[in-house]
Amino acid sequence: MSQGLPRSVRLTNANDYTEVFRCADITLSNRPLRTRAIQNRMPSARLGVVVPKRNTAKAVHRNRIKRVVREYFRHRLARLPCVDIVIQVFDGTNEQKLRQSLDLHLQRVKEQLGE
């Protein structure tokens, strides 16, 4: 059985990303991350991850960051409200700092948009 993040809980097209960027209910930012979230009408939270090339030049590093974020999200999916979240990673930071920032951001999203 696959342990990956199912397609149903990922933002899969440009329109989904554009909607979150344009109409975000919450925008959180600190050194390695910026998180935007908007409530959705889906049965669960959905995730989009953006890692710009100019900050993390090598594809292997960008892909590693995306894997870490998706895995972190997958483990906390059941505790999140029904929101679309786009996480932008601006720094090729170490995994520990990335996870700490994700903890902070997802907790705030849960507090502000949770039911």
Mean pLDDT across 2-16 = 86
Provide the β-strand partners of residue 46.
84
E-strand stretches of 1-115: 26-29, 33-39, 46-50, 83-89
Length of the chain: 115
pLDDT digits (tens, 9 = 90+) for 54-109: 888 889 999 999 999 999 999 999 899 999 999 999 877 788 888 999 999 999 99
Q: Which residue has the tokens 């049965």?
A: 43
Cα separation, 11 vs 47, whole angstroms = 6
Q: What is the rounded average pLDDT for all residues in the chain?
A: 89
Query: What is the average per-residue pLDDT within 19-30?
Result: 92
Amino acid in the structure at residue 86: V
**For the whole model, what pTM was predicted?**
0.89
- d(CA 27, CA 71) in angstroms, rounded, equals 22
Residue 115 has pLDDT above 70, yes or no: no
- Fold assignment, 7-113: Ribosomal Protein S5; domain 2 (3.30.230)
* Rounded Cα–Cα distance for residues 22 and 68 (Å): 26
pLDDT: is 3 or 90 the higher one? 90
Residue 3's pLDDT is 72
| pLDDT bracket for residue 1 (50, 70, 90) | very low
Domain boundaries along the sequence of the chain: 7-113
